[in-house]
Amino acid sequence: MNADELRQLDFAWLWKGRGKTTEVEGRILLELLDKVDRARVLELGAGNGRLTPFLRKGAETYLGADAVPEFLQELAQGQAPFSPGSLFAANAYHLPLPDKSISVCVLVRVFNFLDEPSRAMAEIRRVLVPGGTLILGVQVRPSVATLVDDLKAFLENLPSREPLTLGGGERVQVRMTNVPAWQYRTRELLKILSHEGFALREVRASGLEDYIVLRRLPGRFFLRLSALGQPLSLFPTLFLLLQSGKGEVPFRWDTPLKFVCPACRSALTRPPPDLPELRCAKCGYRAVITKDIPDLRWVVVENRSGKDRQASPSTT
């Protein structure tokens, strides 16, 4: 998936009439944040920022990043002002943050869009403090939602479509939005996370509030329901609270966060005479700053001569 594909995500269409889902997910996030060190919380893949107000409330310091800078500019317009640098464009595979620099990373409805989730999980683990937290909101199968999709496909007589509930291997490509994504079996998801060093601490489940017939029930009902975990594969969305390695408690948060070069991880400097950009003296990488939002994306792209080059639009 590259940034041009992701840019096509149409949030207004996607979230029309689904305020109850955002309310339930926001409240689950707040409850989970309450259990961990939330000194510095990074929302990775913040999108249109529907969950950002909840996370800003729950975090001591909030950071928001996305592969599409335009999403962040829109997000910033609709909310209380952000301090400069707390929103930045970044690629989950090459975060512009030093090792052990954040306490929580929140990833909601993003994992399913990653072509190589293991690589992104390893990168998140690098920037988390030892014992830090990953909160993952993810679509899984089998679930009632995948069963409903299978029934619809059967009734619409779509024989070419693989059934998601029972078949389809450990991960299948699906269209949950107008951009293709991946859907995982729960056990495969947990395998990837454990392989990357994340230990599962808690499971909250949600998504039934997304069904029109159930939407009228109060948010607190779904919040209670979510604490049941994932009985009988009922829920389409899981919120996993995961811990990265062992904690060095208490972690000292007195050093201010400074961006590093996403290409070589050296410190970035702001060149005189106050140009709206950040520069890496070591490798020459430059990040342009637009409306206080630095574009800190970078990827390795093989060109014909086999050399790496800077190519911000791609996200792998």
Query: What residue spans of the chain are helical by DSSP H?
Result: 3-7, 11-14, 19-33, 52-58, 69-77, 117-127, 144-155, 186-195, 219-226
What is the rounded CA–CA span in Å between residue 200 and residue 3?
30
Binding site partner of 140, from Zn ion, ligand SAM, none, Cβ cut-off 5-8 A by kind? none
Distances 160 to 83, 145, 157, 264 between C-alpha atoms, Å: 50, 19, 9, 45
Q: Please tell me whether residue 27 binds ligand SAM under the rule CB under 6 A.
A: no
Q: How many residues bind to Zn ion according to rule CB under 5 A?
A: 8
Q: Which part of the chain contacts Zn ion (CB under 5 A), choosing from 72-80, 208-216, 272-280, 288-296?
A: 272-280
Q: Which of residues 109-128 bind ligand SAM (CB under 6 A)?
A: 109-110, 113-114
The separation between CA 121 and the C-alpha centre of its own chain, rounded to angstroms, equals 10
Point out which span in 45-53, 99-107, 210-218, 265-273 binds Zn ion (CB under 5 A).
Answer: 265-273
Residue closest to ligand SAM when measured from CB atoms: 47
Among Zn ion, ligand SAM, none, partner that 264 touches (CB below 5 to 8 angstroms by kind): Zn ion
What angle is formed at CA 129 by the lines to CA 125 and CA 135, rounded to 5 degrees? 60
Task: Kindly tell me which residue out of 145, 263, 293, 299 binds Zn ion, with binding defined by CB under 5 A.
Answer: 263
Q: Dihedral, CA atoms, 78, 12, 178, 136, nearest 10 degrees?
A: 50
Q: Which residues pair with 244 in a beta bridge?
A: 198
Q: Are strands 102-108 and 87-89 parallel, antiparallel or unpaired?
A: unpaired
Strands 237-244 and 198-206, how do they pair?
antiparallel
Reading phi first (left if > 0) and then psi (alpha if -120 to 50, else beta), residue 131 is in left
- Choose one: 32-40, 61-69, 166-174, 280-288; the region binding Zn ion (CB under 5 A): 280-288
Q: Is residue 140 a contact point for ligand SAM (CB under 6 A)?
A: no
Q: Is 91 in the site for ligand SAM (CB under 6 A)?
A: yes
What is the per-residue binding string for ligand SAM in 296-315, x denoting contact by CB under 6 A? -------------------x
- Which residues in this chain contact ligand SAM in the complex, by CB under 6 A? 1, 6, 9, 45-47, 50-51, 66-68, 71, 91-93, 108-110, 113-114, 315
- Which residues in this chain contact Zn ion in the complex, by CB under 5 A? 261, 263-264, 266, 280, 282-283, 285
